[in-house]
């Protein structure tokens, strides 16, 4: 009994040390910058090691090991059902997107992701059943690539959830609104949602003194009859925002230009950082990363998006973030290919 207790206590100490290590790193990283993508992966490490710590503690309780096995079985069952339901949901959502929106690659991302998830087991396991060396190598590559993409996506989701709670509490001195396409010179529902979120934030931050300055930011596209910033400024005026609290930015064509031009306007007007950036919820994490890369003290808050539109839009943002950190993912891809080559080499010896 004593050796078993000693071994159990050793496991608890090891798990507590690991949890403390990742927790301290996460706390330090959050103090450095809450917009960093690594925060999501550190949170995953804290949750994983924390779950191990809880499991080790429960195992010390009489009957705890048996209860823990049942809980683990239930969690695995839920996970399995989720993995079965997710690709079906993505495919159905993709079909809805194709019906409601124009048919384009970005709008079909949820459909393609769902089909890829359904095909992955077949692509991985059917060749493995052949037993041929090339088949084993292909299975290895597919499984490792799927695991890496899943890991990367979960880290992105974790950072999104972690950052969202903080961004809404930033004591900002102004709010920038990212523009989007105006229709017939007027603000469409998607852009109105951003403006509503921006106005709510500006009113909350300004308190009794009225809203803090708001910068509607957006240039004029080839299919627009006037700049987005101008149309947005009119919308804000119609909602009762005083003209002196509206600083129009009407030249930006990209998110980076929105940020750089708007911050320049605010600094010229004597409004100090930090600032809030209002966009749609799916775009907020990447917009915050853009601001961080530019060295700006700007944090992003998100307006609600139609439920059917969110999955593909969020996947599009994930793809964009992957492209921004391409060195990391190219390194991972090279490692996966090398692993496949190694399996092929060992299988043919």
CATH 3.40.50.620 fits 168-305, yes or no: yes
Give the model confidence (pLDDT) of 206-230 as tens digits.
Answer: 988 889 999 999 999 888 889 999 9
Give the model confidence (pLDDT) of 108-143 as tens digits.
Answer: 888 888 888 888 877 777 766 677 788 888 888 888
Q: Where are the domains of the chain?
A: 1-62, 168-305
Percentage of residues of the chain with pLDDT beyond 70: 96
Is the bond leading into 274 cis (omega within 30 degrees of zero)? yes
Give the model confidence (pLDDT) of 245-283 as tens digits.
Answer: 999 999 999 999 999 999 999 999 999 999 999 999 999
Indicate if the pLDDT at residue 197 is higher than 60: yes
- 131 by Cβ neighbours in 10 Å (0-12 / 13-18 / 19+) ranks as exposed
The predicted structure's pLDDT at residue 224 = 84
> What H or E segment, with its residue span, contains residue 157?
helix 133-167
Indicate if the pLDDT at residue 18 is higher than 60: yes
Q: Which of 204, 189, 181 is nearest to 276 (CA)?
A: 204
Q: What is the mean pLDDT of the chain?
A: 88
State how far the Cα of 64 lies from the Cα of 56, in Å rounded to an integer. Answer: 9
Strands annotated E in the chain? 175-178, 214-217, 275-280, 298-303
pTM of the model: 0.86
Q: What is the dihedral of CA 52, 57, 60, 62, to 10 degrees?
A: -110
Q: Which two tokens stand for residue 56?
A: 């080790």
């Amino acid at each position: 009994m004593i050796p078993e207790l000693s071994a159990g206590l050793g496991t608890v100490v090891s798990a507590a040390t690991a949890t403390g290590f990742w927790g301290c790193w996460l706390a330090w990283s959050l103090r450095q910058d809450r917009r960093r993508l690594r925060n999501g992966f550190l949170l995953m490490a804290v949750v994983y090691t924390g779950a191990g710590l809880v499991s080790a503690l429960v195992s010390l309780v009489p009957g705890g090991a048996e209860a823990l096995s049942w809980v683990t079985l239930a969690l695995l069952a839920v996970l399995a059902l989720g993995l079965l339901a997710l690709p079906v949901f993505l495919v159905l959502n993709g079909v809805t997107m194709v019906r409601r929106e124009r048919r384009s690659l970005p709008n079909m991302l949820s459909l393609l992701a769902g089909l890829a998830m359904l095909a992955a087991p077949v692509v991985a396991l059917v060749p493995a059943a052949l037993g041929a060396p090339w088949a084993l190598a292909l299975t290895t590559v597919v499984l490792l690539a799927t695991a890496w993409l899943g890991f990367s996506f979960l880290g992105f989701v974790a950072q999104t959830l972690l950052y969202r709670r903080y961004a809404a509490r930033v004591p900002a001195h102004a709010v920038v609104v990212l523009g989007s396409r105006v229709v017939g010179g007027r603000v469409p529902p998607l852009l109105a949602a951003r403006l509503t979120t921006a106005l709510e934030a500006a009113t909350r931050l300004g308190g009794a003194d009225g809203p803090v300055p708001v910068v509607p930011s957006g240039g004029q596209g080839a299919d627009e009859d006037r700049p987005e910033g101008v149309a947005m400024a009119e919308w804000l005026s119609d909602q009762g925002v005083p003209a002196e609290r509206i600083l129009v930015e009407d030249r930006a064509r990209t998110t980076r230009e929105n940020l750089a031009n708007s911050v320049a306007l605010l600094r010229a007007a004597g409004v100090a950082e930090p600032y809030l950036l209002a966009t749609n919820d799916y775009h907020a994490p990447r917009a915050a990363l853009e601001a961080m890369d530019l060295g700006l003290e700007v944090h992003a808050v998100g307006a609600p998006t139609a439920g059917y539109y969110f999955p593909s839009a969020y996947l599009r943002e994930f793809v964009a973030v992957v492209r921004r950190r391409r060195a990391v993912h190219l390194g991972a891809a090279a490692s996966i290919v090398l692993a496949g080559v190694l399996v092929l080499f060992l299988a043919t010896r």
